[in-house]
Amino acid sequence: MSDYIINKPDDFELNETLECGQCFHFNKLDENDYVLTAFGHMLHIIQTEKEIVFYDTDEKLYMDLWRNYFDIDRNYGLIKERLLKKDEEFFETLISFIISQNKQIPHIKKIVADISAKYGDYAGEVKGVPMYTFPDVRKLAKAEVEDLKELKTGFRAPYIYDAVKCVGEGKISYDELIALDSEQGIEKMCQIKG
């Protein structure tokens, strides 16, 4: 079987697609070079600057399986554009990401809910379940490391504290991050401990 090659779609990055945390059954062979299995098939795939090569794949297999698997036809540029207009949830996303290290979803949800209940504002109740907004940086800045540990954040407490401080002091801001390319953005985010 020959290889099937397509032009790399705009805003598609193979490493980001496979290593986003939603897929785990693959091996990285080299930079942008992977092998994976899905739907009973093995695929060796590589991305170059301009192309994506599906090794040992014909057009039918690509059209029937891999095109949808990798969501090749989706306009990720448009999605990013919409998301980047203004992300009011940046701070909550940042803190939730730090909490998510080595945690399962129910525990992450519980910690986010507890932080919201202690430092956020009461938003109402549905069927006996009280809901609170996630605190903004000013409100969460009132929490010390020990306060965060009491909310079962564990070793993440100093990381959360540092992230709050970085955002509160303007060292990290959403508007600044969206103006950077991916590599610069990662470098900037690595200024946060943990």
Q: Is pLDDT above 80 for 162?
A: yes
Predicted TM-score (pTM) of the model is 0.56
Cβ contacts of 17 within 8 Å, gap of 6 or more? 23, 70, 71
Q: List pLDDT tens digits, range 36-95.
A: 988 888 999 999 999 999 999 999 999 999 999 999 998 877 776 665 555 557 888 888
Q: List pLDDT tens digits, range 120-130.
A: 988 888 888 88
Average pLDDT over every residue of 137-161: 93
Q: Is pLDDT above 60 for 187?
A: yes
Residue with tokens 């093995």: 42
How would residue 11 be classed by pLDDT, with cut points 50, 70 and 90?
Answer: confident
Instruction: Indicate the residue type of 9.
Output: P
